[in-house]
Amino acid sequence: MADMIRAAVQTGPRQIEIREFPRPVIGPDDGGLLRIEACGICGSDVEQYKGNLGRQWLPMVPGHEPLGIIEEASESACARWGVRPGDRVAVEILIPCRSCDLCLAGRYMSCRNRVGSHGGSQPASRGLGLWGGFAEYIHLHPNSILHKVRGDIPAEVAVMFNPLGAGVRWACHLGGVGLGDTVLILGAGQRGLAAVLASRVAGAGTIIVTGLSRDAGKLALAREFGADVVIDVEAEDTVSRVAEITGGSGADVVLELTPMATQPIRDALAAVRWGGRVVLAGLKGGQPAELSTDLIINKALTVVGAFSVDSRAYAEAIRLIETGRFPLARMHTHTFELSDVSRAIETLAGEVPGEDAVHVAIVPGPSEPRGAALTGLRLSPKPTPGATKERRGKEAP
Ligand SMILES: [Zn+2]
Ligand SMILES: [Zn+2]
């Protein structure tokens, strides 16, 4: 490989440029070097891009959903991770200390001695700067958390470990979705769709998904992923519709995944059954939400805050992807090259007219074989409009 590594560097709000970094030399106590195959984009990339995340360490390399191949790694790191060069791995965003009391208790997401993060708030000036996934390579810290992923799955599908991990954690681990449960999912973005799939796998009875009128395509996809009922909240009242479907008793589990809007929180509390669970995962930009705590008390509700995704959920999501049983490729709508990171983020944000994005990924390497693999038979049973869009994305200037 070349001596210099290309990476997309954010220098300010809506400002991303390609810069070159010297290739890190991997020493015996170092981590390793990961060649990026694909890096997913989510709503927090959009906020980071716009400069809405409060304090940001700029310049920095964004991209916190990386999937790649271990190019090289120290022997100690390989032993620690259980990998060898050539293995495909998914990388978690957080790099914890792995030894504080929180880490030892499995709450490493709130590690007090965090080393840093891959693509989160991490200055490019720290270390070698190659932390984020919108790059040809990232420099893995020995404490980075990796998950092996089978190599024969199209990269754009394998990289869905991130949204699918959220679906698994929020629906199954935090929501406790079980056999026959009625699940209400507020929001039909990639995480809402992933929650549909996870709920279906967990044995949910009735799955109800809400979206806006402009989410019609996503709601159709929700049905393909196993939703029984979809609700256009601009045409129907969610709470009364759920009451109708459940004979007045309400949903067993409600996941609130909508960004910014606060009405869905009140809808969640109103639509859940007595003794049910509400999982809150839709951030509201710091604004307070008005709600009745009496309702929580009188309905004996469990309300859970869903911070991020953990290792268990990522691992289970990867196993689900590896089964090849789910039409995940249907969710992938756009692939972009490294030089098009801004346009990729704007596409996911819905700022590009005519583009209806669900899952968007940056693929920094050569693009020829993957498009074919994506429309291949096993993971994508039908030829998809997404595949067409994917090609369009690549041709974009
Ligand atoms: Zn993300
Ligand atoms: Zn720790």
Q: What is the pLDDT of residues 349-361, one digit of tens each?
A: 999 999 999 999 9
Q: How far is the CA of 100 from the centre of ligand 2 (A)?
A: 4
Nearest by Cα to 159 from 64, 74, 223: 64
Quick count: other Cβ atoms within 10 Å of Cβ 104?
A: 11
Q: What is the pLDDT of residue 51?
A: 87
Q: How far is the CA of 184 from the centre of ligand 2 (A)?
A: 35
Confidence tier at 127 by pLDDT (50, 70, 90): low
Q: Give the separation between CA 176 and CA 168, rounded to whole angstroms.
A: 10
Q: Give the separation between CA 78 and CA 277, rounded to whole angstroms.
A: 41
Q: What is the pLDDT of residue 58?
A: 83
Q: What is the pLDDT of residues 95-125, one digit of tens each?
A: 999 999 999 999 999 998 988 899 986 655 5
Tokens of 113: 């001695």
Q: How far is the CA of 52 from the centre of ligand 1 (A)?
A: 15
According to DSSP, residue 250 is labeled: -
Q: What residue type is assigned to position 194 of the chain?
A: A
Q: How far is the CA of 152 from the centre of ligand 2 (A)?
A: 34
- Using the structure block, give the residue that is written with the tokens 């509201």: 284
Q: How far is the CA of 92 from the centre of ligand 2 (A)?
A: 15
Q: Which ligand is nearest to the CA of 159?
A: 1
Residue pair 165/158 in contact (Cβ under 8 Å)? The answer is no
Q: Which ligand is nearest to the CA of 91?
A: 1
Give helix then strand counts, H and E, for the chain: 14, 17
Beta strands in the chain (DSSP E): 4-12, 15-22, 32-41, 66-73, 88-91, 94-95, 116-117, 137-140, 146-148, 182-186, 206-211, 229-232, 251-256, 272-280, 302-305, 332-336, 359-362
Q: Which ligand is nearest to the CA of 99?
A: 2
Q: Would the pTM of this model clear 0.75, i.e. be above it?
A: yes
Q: What is the pLDDT of residue 122?
A: 61
Q: Which ligand is nearest to the CA of 94?
A: 2
What number is the average pLDDT over the span 74-96?
Answer: 96
Residue pair 8/338 in contact (Cβ under 8 Å)? The answer is yes
CA distances from 389 to 162, 224, 327, 354 (A): 21, 19, 17, 11
Confidence tier at 1 by pLDDT (50, 70, 90): low
Q: Which ligand is nearest to the CA of 108?
A: 2
Q: How far is the CA of 242 from the centre of ligand 1 (A)?
A: 30
Q: Give the separation between CA 307 and CA 329, rounded to whole angstroms.
A: 26
What number is the average pLDDT over the span 4-11?
Answer: 94
Q: What is the pLDDT of residue 393?
A: 37
